[in-house]
Structure 1
Amino acid sequence: MHRSDFSDLNTFLAIADHLSFRGAAAQLGLTSSALSHSIRQLEERLGSRLLHRTTRSVSLTDSGIRLLERLRPGMEQISSALEELKDQQHRPSGRLRIYTHTDLTLRTVIAPIWARFLSSYPEVRLELCVEPAPIDLASTGFDAGVAARSRVPAEAIAIRASNPIQIAVVGSPGYLAKRSVPRTPDDVASHRCVALRLSRDGELYRWVFERNGKKRIISPPAVVTVNSPDAAAQASVDGIGLAYLAGDLVRPFLKTGKLIQVLEEWSPSIEGYHLYYQSRRQPSAALRALIDMVRAPPKVPSDHTSVKNPF
């Protein structure tokens, strides 16, 4: 096929539909003289006259009718294929890889919506990876990450995906039955505690308390140190000691009575989580759909101070 054939055949179809060079020109956004030149070239290459042209009318020759009958189904298939491909670019589909740095991040942002998301977009395959160490999205092939704002790369585009999260200091009923319930942050010093060390060589995370504008920062007397909030919650459930954790993480244990919250009036909020992606890369339809679904509502004013998210 000559490289000009497709364009000229499209011109022929438009003229055949309108039986008018002026009508076809308006449809294609070209001049009548350009269409006349295109048809003349096509007829020369085919060695057959396709149109009867007069100053007042246009009609198809027998050759033109035969060409139109064979051409139209093929052109409709091509048009349909192009439209389908175009729709595919705008319809969420394919694999969507998301990095989260803790199970808590996944539980807070992704787990509440993943059933609804996959039901709404059945052509999407969701792949989630929990990895404590920061990763580079571009080099690892992830579409987006979810993390505390302080862990989001400066060059990334970040969308708030959760409101601030309330902290809860908790202990098991069995543990608290053997010791006096702490009334102030200073009382923590006489308790056994489960501490978090978030990096292999990092310091223990200190417990921040706030009430009526007064802030207290405590280094917990740790009997067990872990690098996972989930492990800290389990240790507290098992009666090891008090733990300082995100409320979303311990809420199921509080509901079942496996844990009891203490120092509630002193509990601050921690900054919420953000979904982020590379600023240099256009988000896919699947990622745009996920962003719309996880985007957090406006922040509700709180009496508590929002502190850096340790989790």
Structure 2
Amino acid sequence: MKTPGLSELEGVLAVARHRSFRAAATELGVSTSALSHAIAALEARIGVRLFNRTTRSVSLSEAGAQFVDSVAPALSTIRVAIEQAGTYRDTPAGTLRINTSTGAARQVMPLLLAYLRRYPEMKLDLVTEGRMIDIVVEGFDAGIRLAEIVPQDMIAVPFNRPQRFAVVGSPAYFAENPKPRTPDDLRAHRCIRMRMPSGRIYHWEFERRGQAISVDVQGMLTLDEPLLIMEAAREGFGLAYMTEWNVAADLEAGTLQRVLEDWTPAFDGLCLYYPGRRHIPAGLRALIEMIREGE
């Protein structure tokens, strides 16, 4: 029997992770039909069905689950061996997979593009989503998130850009409503509420001289995307609670005005984080060095 190749085994693991041939094919950079045929050929050679397929879902069979449990550690060892051999290259090469949020991605994109210019043999696969995931289980090399939500078992590399939140509203809104002087004043204002990826409505957080306040603001709009929140705020539909980075251009242009600035102290910003392991891929190590260059 012909021994399965690495690409076939990587295909099996990708389909197992995503429970989808289409999503797995996108990750691997191949067509869905090519991936499906490759795995079907593998199943025919070994004589067992690895996946149960319906028109709506894909799931591991009992044999497939055992196969994945056995193959995944071996493939991980092979990847590490290849990566270690690659450290002897003059420049890193390969693919670096990073998971992050949309807002974080917008902030660090200039650095990531500079990274690709410096290391043209590297490829970057950046996946953005609001929810936190297990980057090890999902097959990512690293993640980028706010320092306060990075899992404690990860190694974190700060970007050293402290963040602050800002409460903002349009000139038109403030022409009709007095500016709040304390967080409690927000209860009398229309605010644009933010829904978190978990579905929870975010309570606006404030602190001054050791006094911390959390306000469950009210308003006619509840949104889950920062760009939509800013658009609604510009149009006068209420106050918004955003990071300074998001609203900096609007504040400078005067399309949004800031209030309660003395209630929004700085906090630790974004971190690149990755699993604590002895070997760091050359491509990831190069990115870490670029982050530290900016310190």
Same fold (TM over 0.5): yes
Partner AA of 1:105 in structure 2: A
Which secondary structure does the structure 2 equivalent of 1:113 belong to?
Answer: helix
Q: Quote the Cα distance in structure 2 between the aligned partners of 1:227 and 1:165.
A: 20
Which secondary structure does the structure 2 equivalent of 1:105 belong to?
Answer: helix
Q: Aligned match of 2:245 in 248, 260, 264?
A: 248
Instruction: Report the CA distance between 1:89 and its aligned residue.
Output: 4.2
Q: Aligned match of 1:288 in 266, 281, 285?
A: 285
Deviations 1:254-288 (A, max 9, x none): 22222111111222223312111122362211111
Q: Is the 8 A contact 1:169 1:244 kept in 2?
A: yes
Q: 1:198 corresponds to which residue? A: 196
Q: 1:228 corresponds to which residue? A: 225
Deviations 1:11-69 (A, max 9, x none): xxxxxxxxxxxxxxxxxxxxxxxxxxxxxxxxxxxxxxxxxxxxxxxxxxxxxxxxxxx
Partner AA of 1:93 in structure 2: A
Say whether residues 1:98 and 2:95 are aligned partners.
Answer: no
Instruction: Report the CA distance between 1:198 and its aligned residue.
Output: 0.9
Q: Is the 8 A contact 1:149 1:271 kept in 2?
A: yes
Moved more, 226-235 or 165-174: 226-235
Distance 1:255 1:287, change over 3 A: same
Distance 1:206 1:99, change over 3 A: same
Q: 1:215 corresponds to which residue? A: 212
Partner AA of 2:94 in structure 1: G
- Note the residue ranges of structure 2 that are not aligned, 5 or more in a row: 1-84
Q: Quote the Cα distance in structure 2 between the aligned partners of 1:105 and 1:289.
A: 20
- Note the residue ranges of structure 1 that are not aligned, 5 or more in a row: 1-84, 299-311
Partner AA of 2:92 in structure 1: P
Which secondary structure does the structure 2 equivalent of 1:163 belong to?
Answer: coil
Q: Quote the Cα distance in structure 2 between the aligned partners of 1:114 and 1:297.
A: 13
Q: Quote the Cα distance in structure 1 between the aligned partners of 2:294 and 2:181.
A: 34
Q: Quote the Cα distance in structure 2 between the aligned partners of 1:135 and 1:218.
A: 28
Q: How large is the Cα RMSD of the aligned pairs?
A: 2.3
Q: Quote the Cα distance in structure 1 between the aligned partners of 2:261 and 2:223.
A: 23
Instruction: Report the CA distance between 1:194 and its aligned residue.
Output: 0.8
Instruction: Report the CA distance between 1:104 and its aligned residue.
Output: 1.6
Partner AA of 2:105 in structure 1: L
Q: Is the 8 A contact 2:173 2:236 kept in 1?
A: yes
Q: 1:111 corresponds to which residue? A: 109
Q: Is the 8 A contact 1:192 1:241 kept in 2?
A: yes
Partner AA of 1:96 in structure 2: L
Q: Is the 8 A contact 1:163 1:296 kept in 2?
A: no
Say whether residues 1:152 and 2:150 are aligned partners.
Answer: yes
Runs of 4+ in 1 over 4 A off after TM superposition: 85-90
Instruction: Report the CA distance between 1:216 and its aligned residue.
Output: 2.9
Q: 1:126 corresponds to which residue? A: 124
Partner AA of 1:209 in structure 2: F
Q: Quote the Cα distance in structure 2 between the aligned partners of 1:176 and 1:146.
A: 36
Q: Quote the Cα distance in structure 1 between the aligned partners of 2:136 and 2:197.
A: 23
Distance 1:146 1:235, change over 3 A: same
Distance 1:282 1:107, change over 3 A: same
**Number of equivalences:** 211
Instruction: Report the CA distance between 1:187 and its aligned residue.
Output: 1.8
Deviations 1:166-211 (A, max 9, x none): 1110011222222112222222111100111213442x22222223
Distance 1:239 1:252, change over 3 A: same
Structural mapping, 1:1-311, within 5 Å:
89=89, 91-100=91-100, 102-108=101-107, 110-202=108-200, 204-280=201-277, 282-295=279-292
Distance 1:218 1:86, change over 3 A: closer
Q: Quote the Cα distance in structure 2 between the aligned partners of 1:270 and 1:181.
A: 25
Which secondary structure does the structure 1 equivalent of 2:255 belong to?
Answer: coil
Identity of aligned residues (%): 39
Q: Quote the Cα distance in structure 2 between the aligned partners of 1:249 and 1:259.
A: 11
Instruction: Report the CA distance between 1:129 and its aligned residue.
Output: 0.8
Q: Is the 8 A contact 1:98 1:127 kept in 2?
A: yes
Q: Quote the Cα distance in structure 1 between the aligned partners of 2:282 and 2:234.
A: 42
